[in-house]
Structure 1
Amino acid sequence: MHVTTPAGWTVRAVGGDAPPHLAARRVPATVPGCVHLDLLAADLIPDPYLDANEALLHWIGRTDWRYEAEFHVDGEVAGELDLVAHGLDTVAEIEVNGRVVAATRNMHRSYRIPVAGVVRPGRNELAVTFAAPVPAAERFSAELGELPQVNTHPFNAIRKMACSYGWDWGPDVATSGIWRPLELEAWNGARIAAVRPLVAVDGNVGTLTVHVDVQRASGSDSELTVLAEAAGVSLPVTIPAGETSAVVKLRVPDVRLWWPVGYGEQPLYDVEVTLSDAAQSLDTWAGRVGFRTVALDVEPDADGTPFTLSVNGRPVFARGVNWIPDDAFPSRITRARLAERLTQARDANVNLVRIWGGGIYESEDFYDLCDRLGLLVWQDFLFACGGYAEEEPLRGEVIAEAREAVTRLTPHPSLILWNGCNENIWGYEDWDWKPLIGDRTWGWGYYTEILPAIVAELDPTRPYSAGSPYSFTPGVHPNDPAHGTMHIWEVWNREDYTTYRDYRPRFVSEFGFQGPPTWATLTRAIHDEPRRPDSPAMLVHQKAEDGNGKLERGLAPHLPRPRTFEDWHWATSLNQARAISLGIDHFRSLGALCSGTVLWQLNDMWPVTSWAAIDGDGRRKPLWYAMRRSFADRLLTFQPRAGGLALVAVNDSDEAWTGGVMVTRRGFDGSVLDSAALSMNVAARSTVELPIPHDVAVAGEVRDELLVAEGGGEEAFWFYAEDVESRLPAADLAVKAEAVAGGYQVTVTAGAVVVRDLAVLADRVAPDAVVDDMLLTLLPGRTAVFTIATAAEVDPEAFASPLVLRSANQLLSS
């Protein structure tokens, strides 16, 4: 097979709302890419991520765009020639030498278009014209019939990345372009159309069943041979004349199992498939697999309906994060960027990533990195927060897209669950959709019939869930805490985050709390003078409904009203971290009742105030450090129980956790008011509650005391009163800052009082600075050492500035 890539791309506006100075102007274009990036590279538009520029560029989504290029063919075309578009965004008409050869309307699938009869020797012209994506969605919605959804634009009427039309954390930058590679492929006789390697394990023997589909050239009907090789084992299988598929089953002895991070190693096995006829090799396919089994337990029990994922027969507590596209312009997401982001997830003790249904099926690089890092992948089909018509032409596109996605992703051992939709079943029940829908279709048939049938046919090795949240129990509300998965959004929207403790969920697949991006990210993107939470550009970068109001109401029960913008930034960042830490700690303290918690969300696609732990520039927010602590293999956490405070020891490791734990009730001056020595014996992968003696657990003066647990290399703190009600004094710190290899070191010793949530906001000093730890609580006389990695040459004392070296104490004394 020979592959040619067209070159010399240009793009121009050919209809719609383009300003006069851009009408019909040819702009150099990059493929893969999108029109926003091409216009930005040509300095024809401002950066849509900065200040209030987003609204200035809405015309791009209401403009038709035409991409043009050329390619050369030496001599007459012999054999087959296909134009292969791996990703077109979205409603497109493709021309070769002025002749329309295809029309497309789905961003989430590829297209293979025969063009041998249109291509000529020498120079050829190629054009792809994209219909404006906002009017296209509106037109399709009118044709199909309006269905409910949560956005300004009817994203649910078009098979395009839903959040391209804006979301409550994303910009409205509806894109057009050739977002994945576009190539010309020449082939003869036959080619490999698809390979689905499915694994099974029995004892120490792995079975690899390789399903191979082939496409024959017109008039070709010869016998073919498929040879599959893996782990030193190979087997040829004959495809008789006229047939187009084969199954090769390889038996791999002494197979090494693939495990999620924290449970074992991640061995991967190369697989190669060769297609040949009697004369020659015709095509090859290469990939990797990992041998493991996966199961989902949703059998009703005494507490309701569990949702427990198991790998290789071992239940796995999901320490998860939700994933959104890492950029509103996905074509500029590189493997290196994905590696950084997913490594950040793993380093925060995450073991599961849920790919949310309003985004995209990610690149091969994404899944390959998860395979290598041991991150489990929960894959939503791409339906989110809306009703979806089940009639043509949408139905056919959904089927083609789903079949391609399942086929493409089957090799990856990290992929452990297919999920039908995000919040659509819940929305149908609770979001007042029924009057608008009436007796029309809205997606239920996709989630309960079409998608599970495709998974059962093409990938029976993995479980399927109809949606998230979903109860798995007929007649039970889809977001019932006792059944299946649930989303908790009363917290953040209406309730204080301490309400997390009122829930006893079986599995939390979404919960979250907002906070701003890091200071370096915020100040790079927003230049209001003065900056305020409600200054114009700040509001552009706050997409949640009443987002600032919810931040303020969420802060009020816990921390004083900030007096400055800098204090607002620190307080809301700290409050976000505390909220999520409280939630995770509580859910993990429930032991076997709750089998997973998936934070909304890991990442952002642009600089924005949001629920993310890593902001739009890839910097770790304080939340990231709180999540890392709360997701640690071993966790001590104080939890209120019916009989009073208890210390809960969570051991999500393969070794028993034993030893003594000292619990002390102290004054803010560090004095010990009472104490108890507890004995801890926590089996592997289990949770134990340790009652605390009443005299130790109950404060004499709640405003001046805290409870401390120390043991087994871990510690936990319980402040009896919220900061706004406590008498936590100003911090008394001895600070030494110095340059060290690779950056700087800041040594902080607490003086006469407890220091709560000590942090070095290093990016305020240097944008590339990353601190190794954050949100530490120090008893009087104790020391913390912060290591800061940066290439910047700065005065070390800058890291001791009161706006950099932060604590909760500051907010109470400011």
Structure 2
Amino acid sequence: MPSCPFAASNVFDLHRVQEWLPATVPGNVRTDLLALNRIADPFFGEQYQTSRWVEDVDWWYRRALTIDQLPPSNQAFLIFEGIDYLSAIFINGQEVSRHEGMFSRQIIDVTSAAQTGHIDIAVRLWGSTALPRRRLNWLQKRWLDIASKFHRSWTGVYPDRSATTKCQMSFGWDFAPPIRPMGIWDDVYLVITGPVAIIEAGVTARSTVASASDNVVPAELMLHLTLNSTQPTPVKATVTLTPANFSGDSLSPQTFMMRLPAGRLEKTLLCRLPAVELWQPWDRGSPHLYNVTVTLTNLDGRPLDEITLRTGFRTISFNRWQFSLNNQPEFMRGLNWVPADAFPGRLRPADYEERLQQVRSSGTNLLRVWGGGLREKQAFYDICDELGLLIWQEFPFACVFLGAFPTDTAYLSHVEAECGAIVRQTRHHPSIILWCGGNEFSRQRNRPLLNTLANVVDRYDGNRPFIPTSPNFAHGGDAHNWHVWHGRAPLKSYQHETAHFLSEFGLQALPHPDTLNAVFPDPTDSTQWTTHNADLVKLQHYGSIRNYELGIMNNDASLPNSSFSILNSQFAQATALQIAIEHIRRRKKQTGGVCIWQFNEPWPAISWAIVDYFGRPKHAYERLTDLYHPILISLDFPLGRRWSPGDTLTADIWAINDTLQTHKNGRLDIYIDDTLIHTQTLDLPPNSAKHISTLAYPLTHTPQMLHLSLSLSLSLTLHNHYDLTWRDIPPAPLALHLRRRLVDWVLW
């Protein structure tokens, strides 16, 4: 249906609909059309371009509900957890909401309609031509013209993405297609209550002891309730806590008496709890969770409404990028998480479960939910809570580089509403330990936005730290190291990293052959790979470390056959990550953690992901089980050189222990190929990175592999290995190196 202005007074134009089609909710318009074979698969080849028309027109969803007639004293609410992006909601032909944003919950009172037994729901969605546009003065336009010559922002086909809080990645990114989905992308449900309703409930929970020697501690639970009462009335609220994922006793119920006026109001209830089991990340203990149930009754015990949220109790502190969880240090072994599908409406709990189990199995304890992506669906956070995974959650702002987000009052009010909703809807999840304003934009040029976000976090949470942006290396914070890859620096340059936290770094690598076959008409034609984000020049540049004689600095951007390129690009990616991870972990006393760019991808791509869109792991993921184990045995020695008979291989031996346990009398064996060259016994203090000894071994042959084995008990043997056959690339040209330094200095 052709578009009409979002601000038009009358937009109830169902008569203009040309055809009604079956749809799935949650979902997206394009995925419904794909299911009906009305469009070609956007993920195959360049076919996403053939369905761009979908974004240029407006769409309607409708659903007629027939229910038992609602008693006069009861209430009914229709709740939308997320509509993307511009929408109007109609009930029985009457407009009840017009909304901009994809992350905030919309709660619609449908009591009058429910009393008739018929609720006719219609949702109007505007196409992308109606999205907000930037209004720049002449000075801002001139600045952007100048800035664009020095740094290309990932704006894809739509340069005004920064005027919206829509998922920024959907406008096109260096690992994602320019697909701007629309639809009812998150859950929708109908709630029937008594004359008093819990419209919204939030929980903030924390333990209240300065230190704890065990997992049972006193705690406080703050309940934030939004209530709606049809008339003035006294109400009793009963709060009960029961173990959700472990065996244990329920806590004694706590009751609160309230006298409510008619209408909507907010109430806060404080529960002091004498003893709860702590929620711990998986590498510290068990992620104990509690079901918190709030039951409202009138004075004679008749039920009015009830709601249950699941939460956990823990503390988090943060000082100079050193994290402390439950008053114990926690080193972060992290992965960057991006949306798992360019069409987030079709993500289901099982999809999240599969990916997050892969995260957990790798030894990862932290996910950075990147600011160019989403406030994920509740299932994502629920599963992280269950698995004991930690979350660094960013707000939906990313990569304006030399530009700035809008500063007008209307935009900042919109940000406050959308981001306030994000905090309120996720604050009960113990897995979230850090809020961040967003990814890769200047603090100085975006103070109004960042002040708004800081105020939102303080108002609705207050139990978690907030950092303005990532990175913040210039101010003693985290770093994004793109001297390797974008700056074409040697892999060993990772060993010069001195940041307090390394939150982005990585290399592109080709995926499994089955993935290439699934998305390219001719998967052996490397020129097609650029349509799915491949940077052929850099893939060749780094993929040649195993075949240095091929010549890596020529101008031919073509690559050899796909099997060869898959092997070499995945080897280079895994080697690069190993160098950076081990360097950062050896600096455990100076840095708080490391976070790989990136874990996953939103479509089948040639990207930095270590697990591709279909869930197929690359070689780098397989290495993580060693590199991200809480205990790591590591060698520090000259990298990327050719070894020959007569050379002496000299290496410093390091043992890193992220656990809080002491390990004594571990046996370390080091092999070159099949020859045992070193054995020793060692102790591992808790929470330590320790230089153990120095190895010096004269080589008698050209070595292939260096292998380490550390036995700590009959049931725990750890491994690590180093390929000795590759040769690092030469330093980047001075001009390129200086350009990367200048970009970092200007941006951050």
Query: 2:525 matched to 1:532?
Result: yes
Say whether 1:396 aligns with 2:389: no
Match of 1:635? 632
Aligned position for 1:624: 621
Give the C-alpha shift of residue 182 in structure 1.
3.2
Q: Which amino acid aligns with 2:427?
A: T
Which one scores higher on RCO, CA 8 angstroms, separation ≥ 6? 2
Structure 1 position 255, deviation (Å): 2.3
For residues 354 and 604 of structure 1, the distance between their equivalents in structure 2, rounded to whole angstroms, comes to: 14
1:58 maps onto 2:64 in alignment: no
**Residue range with higher mean Cα deviation, 409-418 or 198-207:** 198-207
Compared with structure 1, are the counterparts of its residues 608 and 707 closer, same or farther at alpha carbon in structure 2 (3 Å cutoff)? Answer: closer
Indicate whether 1:652 and 2:654 are aligned: no
Return the offset for 1:59.
1.7
Aligned partners of 1:47 and 1:705: how far apart in 2?
A: 45
Q: Does 1:213 align with 2:225?
A: yes
AA aligned to 2:224 is V
Residues 1:554 and 2:542 aligned together: yes
2:17 corresponds to 1:34:
no
CA deviations 1:557-584 (Å, max 9, x no partner) are 4435574221112211221111112211
The answer to whether the 8 Å contact 2:330/2:658 transfers is: no
CA distance in 1, matches of 2:206, 2:495: 40
Whether the 8 Å CA contact 1:699–1:705 is kept in 2: the answer is no
Change (3 A) 1:114 1:288: closer
The more displaced of 221-230 and 182-191 is 182-191
Alignment of 1:128-143 (within 5 A): 128-133=123-128, 135-137=129-131, 139-142=132-135
Give the match for residue 240 of structure 1: 259
Is the 1:236–1:248 contact (alpha carbons within 8 Å) kept by the matching residues of 2? no
Aligned to 2:482: 489
Contact 2:543–2:565 (CA<8 Å) still a contact in 1? no
Corresponding position: 1:261 with 2:282: yes
Contact 1:239 1:246 in 2 (8 A): no
**Letter in structure 2 aligned against 1:413:** P
Letter of the aligned partner of 2:542 in structure 1?
A: G
Provide closer, same or farther for how the CA distance between residues 58 and 497 of structure 1 changes in structure 2, counting only shifts above 3 A. Answer: farther
Q: 1:183 to 1:265 in 2, by over 3 A?
A: closer
CA deviation string 1:357-402 (max 9, x = no partner) = 1111112211111111110111111211123223233222211222
Please give the alpha-carbon distance, in whole angstroms, between the structure 1 residues aligned to 2:67 and 2:161: 40
* Partner secondary structure for residue 134 of structure 2: helix
Structure 2: distance between partners of 1:165 and 1:120: 43
Residues 681-736 of structure 1: CA deviation (Å, up to 9, x unaligned): 22122111234254x2x6577x55765544433444455562599xxxxxxxxxxx
CA–CA distance in structure 1, aligned partners of residues 52 and 692 of structure 2: 57
Report how far residue 237 of structure 1 moved: 1.0
Corresponding residue SS for 1:594: coil
Pair 1:444-2:447 in alignment: yes
Please, which of 532, 535, 542 is the counterpart of residue 533 of structure 2? 542
Q: 1:708 to 1:40 in 2, by over 3 A?
A: closer
Mark the CA change 1:143 to 1:77 in structure 2 (over 3 Å): closer, same or farther: farther
Q: After TM superposition, list the pairs within 5 Å mapping 1:89-488 onto structure 2.
A: 89-116=84-111, 121=116, 125-133=120-128, 135-137=129-131, 139-142=132-135, 149-152=153-156, 153=158, 154-201=160-207, 202=209, 203=212, 204-218=216-230, 220-230=231-241, 231-242=250-261, 244-278=265-299, 280-298=302-320, 307-386=321-400, 387-425=404-442, 443-447=446-450, 449-471=451-473, 477-478=474-475, 483-488=476-481
Farther off after superposition, 705-714 or 202-211: 705-714
CA offsets, 1:220-247, max 9 Å, x none? Answer: 2222222111132211112234393443
Shift of 1:286: 0.5
Offset, 1:312 = 0.9
Pick closer, same or farther for the CA change 1:683–1:251 going to 2, 3 Å: same
* Number of the residue aligned with 1:688: 690
SS in 1 for 2:172: strand
Match of 2:668 among 661, 666, 677: 661
Alignment correspondent of 1:581: 578
Q: In structure 1, what is the Cα distance between the partners aligned to 2:462 and 2:318?
A: 13
With over 3 angstroms needed to count, the CA separation of the structure-2 counterparts of 1:680 and 1:454, relative to structure 1, is same
Question: Residues 235 and 116 of structure 1: is their aligned pair in 2 closer, same or farther, counting only changes over 3 Å?
Answer: closer
Contact 2:64 2:120 in 1 (8 A): yes
Alpha-carbon offset, residue 267 of structure 1? 1.5
8 A Cα contact 1:13 1:23, kept in partner = no
Mapped contact 2:329–2:687 kept (Cα < 8 A): no
Measured after TM superposition, the shift of residue 607 of structure 1 is: 0.7
Q: Which residue of the other structure, out of 554, 559, 564, is the alignment partner of 2:561? A: 564
Q: CA contact under 8 A between 1:192 and 1:212: conserved in structure 2?
A: no
Q: CA deviation at 1:460?
A: 1.9
2:740 maps to: none
Distance in 2 (alpha carbons) for counterparts of 1:14 and 1:42: 23
Structure 1 segments unaligned to the other structure (5+ residues):
1-11, 17-21, 299-306, 429-441, 472-476, 726-814
CA distance in 1, matches of 2:376, 2:681: 47
Work out whether residues 206 and 255 of structure 1, in 8 Å CA contact, stay in contact via their aligned partners in 2: yes
Q: Distance in 2 between matches of 1:710 and 1:84?
A: 55
Matched AA of 1:373: L
Cα distance, 1:709–1:126 mapped onto 2, change above 3 Å: closer
Q: Give the SS at the match of 2:424.
A: helix
Distance 1:565 1:76, change over 3 A: closer
Contact 1:73 1:120 in 2 (8 A): no
Using the alignment, how far apart are the partners of 2:705 and 2:191 within structure 1?
Answer: 69
In 2, distance between residues paired with 1:123 and 1:283? 22
Partner residue, 1:782? none
3-state SS in 1 of match to 2:399: coil
Does the CA contact (< 8 Å) of 1:322 and 1:600 recur in 2? yes
496, 512, 516: which one pairs with 1:518?
A: 512
Seen in structure 2, the aligned counterparts of structure 1 residues 56 and 679 have a Cα distance that, compared at 3 Å, is same
Preserved CA contact (<8 Å) 2:221 2:273: no
Alignment check: 8 A CA contact 1:376 1:416 kept:
yes
Find the residue that maps to 1:567 and give its secondary structure.
helix
How much has 1:628 moved relative to structure 2? 1.9
Is the 1:207–1:249 Cα contact (8 Å) retained in structure 2? no
The number of aligned residues is 660
Give the 3-state SS of the residue equivalent to 1:177 in structure 2.
coil
**Is the contact made by 2:315 and 2:325 (CA closer than 8 Å) also made in structure 1?**
yes
Cα contact 1:93–1:129 (8 A) shared by 2: yes
Q: CA deviation at 1:467?
A: 1.5
> What is the deviation of 1:117?
5.7
Task: Please state if 1:72 is matched with 2:59.
Answer: no
Q: Look up the match of 2:37.
A: 43
- Residue 271 of structure 1: how far off its partner (Å): 1.0
